[in-house]
Structure 1
Amino acid sequence: MRYFLGFDLAVKSKLDIDAWRHKSLPSFEAAVPASNFHITAVFLGQITDRQLEMLSLGLDELTMQPQQFSLDMMGYWSKPKILWLGCTNVNDSVYQLYTSLIEVCKKSTIELPNRDYKPHVTLVRKVSANPPAALLAPNFVINVDKLHLFESVSGKQGVHYPIRQSWEMRKPIRPKGYS
């Protein structure tokens, strides 16, 4: 089974992004269904039951804060042929969380490729060439307060991403007298 850690989007955000896509971009044959919109934190790939158990225990111990993503740019990756919605600027706290997640994965003996983190929502797959610029600039603010373990499941209807486990992200509690 293939897994990844990531953030689900609120239904309203998924519908808003989908409406923007339909207004701003040409029609695509391999458009990702709005129900599949998410932001991947770490792609895990195929992992064993033991690695999954170690990962879960490690994430249970991790303190995570809620995050915010400003999806305000569109991009295209030619090798995987993906059109995506991403962030011009990424908060330092997002990178800190990413680094913490990578450490938990390493302690769980999960081998990951060494690549830069680019938070994004995949809009379309199998795009043969970089499409024209969007008619309307994207501008979505996504707040997340849970990290999820998603499974990538392929079926007759296409791929879908059921959530298999979740972890709350909480704001730090400050003692009285601190601001």
Structure 2
Amino acid sequence: MRLFFALDIPGPLALDIATWREQQLPLLGRPVPAANFHITLAFLGEIPDSRLDALCQDVDAAAEKLAPAAFELQLDQVGYWPRPGIYWLGPASWPDSLEHLARKLGGIGAIHGHEKRREHFQAHVTLFRGCEAAPPAPALAPDFRLSCSEFLLMESRQGKRGVSYHPVAGWELGTGFNPA
């Protein structure tokens, strides 16, 4: 299974972001479908199905210690990473506890077979992939509020219509495990 931990973007907010993107930005590359909007906390990559229960048990055991209380993110800035060609939307700031959560989840993932860790955490929603040049600034700055009350373990599946993401398990922030 190709897995990652994420903060989900609820449907109505995802549609608002997609509408803003369509109105404010030219077609810059491959637009990410609104249904795939999320904020990655830790990418795990390929984890054998046989490790899923142990992975979830480890997160469950650590969830009360590592999960911050619910919080809000103000998605109010855009950015561009030229090497992967990604144009993104994200918050100018986030709680330190979110970065701590992302590092801890990456560490738990490493125990279960994934060794790569991200050096720098940037909370973001990918808007476009495959951008060849830095995009112009939008005429209307983004201003979206994301209420975060849980984090999810998501599976990335490749299908005939592209990639889709599916929740595998979820944890309420500051509490514990909830099967998805």
Same fold by TM (over 0.5)? yes
What is the CA-CA distance between 1:54 and the residue it aligns to? 2.4
How far the C-alpha of 1:53 sits from its partner, in A, is: 2.6
Counterpart in the other structure of 1:174: none
Is 1:127 the counterpart of 2:138? The answer is: no
| Structure 1 residues 98 and 151: alpha-carbon distance in aligned structure 2, compared to 1, 3 A threshold | same
Distance 2:170 2:153 in 1: 6
Would you tell me which structure has more strand in proportion to its own residues?
Answer: 2
Equivalent position of 2:42 in the other structure: 42
How many angstroms apart in 2 are the aligned matches of 1:12 and 1:111? 35
Deviation string, structure 1 residues 50-98 (Cα, Å, up to 9, x no partner):
4433220111121122232221111111111111001211211212222
Distance 1:114 1:166 in 2: 22
- What is the aligned partner in structure 2 of residue 33 from structure 1? 33
Q: Percent sequence identity over matched residues?
A: 38
TM-score normalised to structure 2 length: 0.87
Shift of 1:29: 5.0
Aligned runs of 1:1-179 on 2, under 5 Å? 1-28=1-28, 30-61=30-61, 62-63=63-64, 64=67, 65-170=69-174
* Alpha-carbon distance in 1 for matches of 2:138, 2:172: 35
The unaligned stretches of length 5 or more in structure 1 are 172-179
Which stretch of the first structure deviates more once superposed, 37-46 or 61-70?
Answer: 61-70
Letter in 2 for 1:162: H
Moved over 4 A (4+): none
Whole-angstrom CA distance in 2 between matches of 1:69 and 1:38 = 13
Q: How many residues align structurally?
A: 171
SS at match of 1:162: strand
Q: Deviations over 1:101-142 (max 9, x none)?
A: 233334445312341111100001111111111111011111
Q: TM-score, normalised by structure 1?
A: 0.87
Answer with 1 or 2: which has the greater Rg.
1
Q: What letter matches 2:125 in structure 1?
A: V
In structure 2, how many angstroms separate the alpha carbons of the residues matched to 1:76 and 1:162? 26
